[in-house]
């Protein structure tokens, strides 16, 4: 009693760990197993699936309603910082500074970011999961490309979460209604019912 069994790791080597892509696919794209609550709360009833697929729930809507004003504030802060750190238009020898960026370009970029923020707010109020996720992800990519990764990554993750959520609900609805299996069966070639008389010898 009390002796610990020492293994050489041969049992673990018989079952190799899945690759990173397979683990991400199992975690995010595949529907959760029955009886396991992984935080997605995917319903199983057809009526509940149709209702969930039609509009966002309160938690998903709160992501957009909270993220829209935050996105507008971050856009103003980022653009003001870029304008403040913008180098001088001309160098000391009178040549044009190649690192200089026009202030009007920054103002146009600010306008685009504010429009995306308003789009996030509008789609969230309309409870459109897919469009909310797309606009949040686009805003995150725009901030990320400005090299403000700390602000861009959370928006990219939030947008990806909504998009994956929309995919899983749509896939679950197709499976529940049989549309997924019928679409697979319709792709198979159908037998030809036309009668062909045997040829004469």
pLDDT in tens, 95-106: 776 777 777 888
Query: d(Cα 93, Cα 187) in Å, to the nearest integer?
Result: 70
Contact assessment for residue 159 and residue 133, using Cβ atoms and an 8 Å cutoff: yes
Structure-block tokens of residue 79: 């653009």
Structure-block tokens of residue 201: 């010898």
Which residues in the chain belong to E strands, given as ranges? none
Angle at 115 between CA 110 and CA 116, to 5 degrees: 100
Distance of CA 151 to the CA centre of its chain: 16
Domain presence at residue 123? yes
pLDDT score at 141: 95
Domain presence at residue 1? no
Show Cβ contacts of residue 56 under 8 Å, excluding neighbours closer than 6 positions. Answer: 64, 124, 127, 128, 129, 132, 162
Residue 153, domain extent: 55-179
The structure's pTM equals 0.65
Structure-block tokens of residue 123: 């789609």
pLDDT score at 132: 95
Q: What is the pLDDT of residues 41-77, one digit of tens each?
A: 565 566 767 777 778 888 899 999 999 999 999 999 9
Domain presence at residue 96? yes
Stretches in the chain below the pLDDT threshold 50: 1-13, 28-39, 180-181
Domain presence at residue 18? no
Q: Which residues pair with 9 in a beta bridge?
A: none
Which DSSP state fits 28?
I
Query: d(Cα 82, Cα 54) in Å, to the nearest integer?
Result: 40
Show Cβ contacts of residue 32 under 8 Å, excluding neighbours closer than 6 positions. Answer: 38, 40, 42
pLDDT score at 144: 93
Domain presence at residue 65? yes
Domain presence at residue 37? no
Query: d(Cα 154, Cα 63) in Å, to the nearest integer?
Result: 11
pLDDT score at 168: 85
- Number of independent structural domains in the chain: 1
pLDDT score at 16: 64
């Amino acid at each position: 009693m009390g002796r610990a069994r020492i293994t050489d790791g041969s049992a673990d080597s018989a079952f190799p760990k899945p690759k990173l892509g397979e683990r991400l696919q199992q975690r995010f794209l595949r529907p959760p197993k029955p009886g396991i609550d992984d935080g997605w709360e995917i319903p199983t009833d057809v009526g509940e699936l149709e209702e969930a697929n039609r509009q966002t729930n309160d938690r998903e809507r709160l992501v957009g309603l909270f993220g829209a004003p935050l996105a507008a504030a971050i856009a103003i802060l980022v653009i003001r910082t870029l304008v403040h750190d913008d180098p001088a238009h001309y160098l000391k020898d009178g040549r044009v500074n190649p690192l200089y960026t026009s202030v009007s370009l920054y103002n146009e970029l600010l306008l685009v970011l504010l429009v995306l923020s308003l789009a996030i707010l509008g789609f969230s109020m309309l409870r459109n999961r897919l469009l909310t996720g797309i606009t949040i992800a686009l805003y995150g990519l725009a901030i990320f490309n400005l090299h403000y990764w700390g602000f861009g990554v959370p928006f990219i993750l939030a947008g990806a979460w909504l998009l994956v959520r929309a995919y899983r609900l749509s896939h679950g609805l197709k499976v529940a209604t049989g549309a997924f299996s019928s679409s697979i069966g319709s792709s198979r070639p159908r037998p030809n019912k036309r009668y062909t008389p045997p040829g004469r010898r």
